């Protein structure tokens, strides 16, 4: 298990507070083997700072990071795979030799690095680009190379900062499949993203961070249960004032009126709706991760 406990970090300057800007204010969560953890928050919320502390790029003012019940040190980090937000590829280096080079840096022998590189090029759809310079690749293919660099040494943990940023749907699917394969092999995966629909689809657990604090964490099902279900009723061309006195809010789009409510007698609401006009939809809906996120950071 990767455990992050009570991380705090303050940067000097950049804030009207005398002590500087608070970047992290007690961040904590854990990621189990074979779990994909989605780390979401607005720009500046603290996601990148947390990941940099996990990888040893920054030092926390207080708090701890542990892996397999031991404090995380440099030796263990060598066995992690990291994809920074600012991509770190050598632009003039050829794709295959770049991946092999990073494999050697992580301690692989030359034959092992070559074999791992060949496997990743095939899996990520880059075999035909192996001899191209990185700078000649599209953004999506550069992202694939960056992921290959993070995967080449068979990491025990993956820490990925905005890995899907700017990718087309085909590249997203290729990267997602590669991450899911690693998860099935027991690797904990943490990735940050602004694409909440993607996080909802891929992740076992989610952490929502706002202003350096974790404001919600758990499985998507747990977060939905905490938020509660919503009854949505769509009535076409209803009588004026049909929803007066009913709980919830009514929105109007053309001749369709939509009532959303988390309370009240659903049978009474249905009777009122049927009496008012033609009921096109009547059903309970779970909140999306986007809705949960907006509520959590409000």
- CB atoms under 10 Å from CB of 136, counted, come to 13
- Note the pTM of the prediction, 2 decimals: 0.80
Q: Which residues contact 276 (CB under 8 A, 6 or more apart)?
A: 235, 238, 239, 242, 243
CATH of the domain at 238: 3.30.70
Using the predicted structure, report yes or no on whether residue 140 has a pLDDT greater than 90. Answer: no
| Per-residue pLDDT tens over the stretch 83-93 | 988 878 999 99
Does position 16 have pLDDT exceeding 70, yes or no?
no
Domain boundary among 192, 225, 258: 225
If one counts the domains in the chain, the total is 2
Q: How confident is the model at residue 108 (pLDDT cuts 50, 70, 90)?
A: very high
| Tokens of residue 1, six digits | 């298990």
pLDDT the model gives residue 17: 54
Which of 195, 225, 255 is the endpoint of a domain? 225
Read off the DSSP letter of residue 134. G
pLDDT confidence band for 220 (50 / 70 / 90): confident
Show which of 225, 258, 277 is a domain's final residue. Answer: 225
pLDDT at 34 over 60: yes
- Given a contact cutoff of 8 angstroms between Cβ atoms, the answer to whether 179 and 81 are in contact is no
In the three-class reduction of DSSP (H, G, I as helix; E, B as strand; rest coil), residue 15 is classed as coil
Averaged pLDDT, 1-25: 82
Query: According to the model, what pLDDT value does residue 205 have?
Result: 94
Q: Tell me, yes or no, whether 232 and 206 share the same domain.
A: no
What does the pLDDT average to over 15-31?
81
Q: What is the CATH number of the domain that holds 62?
A: 3.40.50.300
How far, rounded to the nearest angstrom, does the alpha carbon of residue 121 sit from its chain's CA centroid?
A: 24
Q: In this structure, are 81 and 121 located in the same domain? A: yes
Residues 132 and 174 in one domain: yes
pLDDT of residue 117: 96
Q: Which domain holds residue 282?
A: 228-297
Q: How confident is the model at residue 217 (pLDDT cuts 50, 70, 90)?
A: very high
Nearest to 74 by CA among 86, 85, 83, 65: 65
Please, are residues 9 and 52 in contact by the beta-carbon 8 Å criterion?
no
Do 66 and 47 share a domain, yes or no?
yes
For residue 4, pLDDT beyond 80? yes
């Amino acid at each position: 298990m990767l455990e992050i406990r009570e991380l705090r970090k303050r940067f000097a300057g950049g804030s009207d507070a005398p002590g500087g800007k608070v970047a992290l204010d007690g961040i904590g969560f854990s990621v189990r083997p074979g779990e994909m953890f989605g780390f979401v928050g607005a720009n500046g919320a603290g996601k990148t700072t947390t990941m940099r502390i996990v990888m040893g790029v920054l030092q926390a003012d207080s708090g701890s990071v542990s892996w397999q019940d031991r404090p995380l040190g440099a030796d263990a980090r060598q066995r992690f795979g990291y994809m920074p937000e600012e991509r770190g590829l050598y632009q003039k280096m050829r794709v295959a030799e770049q991946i092999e080079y990073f494999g050697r840096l992580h301690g692989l022998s030359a034959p092992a690095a070559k074999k791992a590189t060949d496997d990743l090029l095939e899996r990520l759809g880059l075999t035909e680009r192996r001899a191209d310079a990185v700078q000649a690749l599209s953004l999506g293919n550069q992202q694939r190379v960056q992921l290959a660099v993070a995967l080449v040494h068979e990491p025990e943990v993956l820490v990925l900062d905005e890995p899907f940023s700017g990718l087309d749907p085909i590249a997203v699917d290729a990267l997602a499949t590669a991450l899911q394969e690693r998860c099935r092999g027991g690797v904990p995966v943490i990735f940050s993203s602004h694409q909440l629909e993607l996080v909802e689809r891929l992740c076992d657990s989610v952490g929502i961070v706002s202003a350096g604090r974790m404001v919600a964490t758990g499985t998507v099902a747990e977060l939905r249960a905490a938020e509660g279900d919503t009854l949505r009723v769509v009535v076409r061309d209803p009588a004026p004032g049909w929803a007066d006195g009913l709980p919830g809010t009514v929105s109007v789009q053309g001749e369709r009126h939509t009532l959303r409510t988390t309370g009240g007698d659903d049978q009474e609401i249905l009777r009122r709706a049927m009496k008012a006009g033609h009921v096109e939809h009547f059903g309970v809906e779970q909140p999306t991760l986007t809705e949960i996120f907006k509520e959590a950071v409000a």
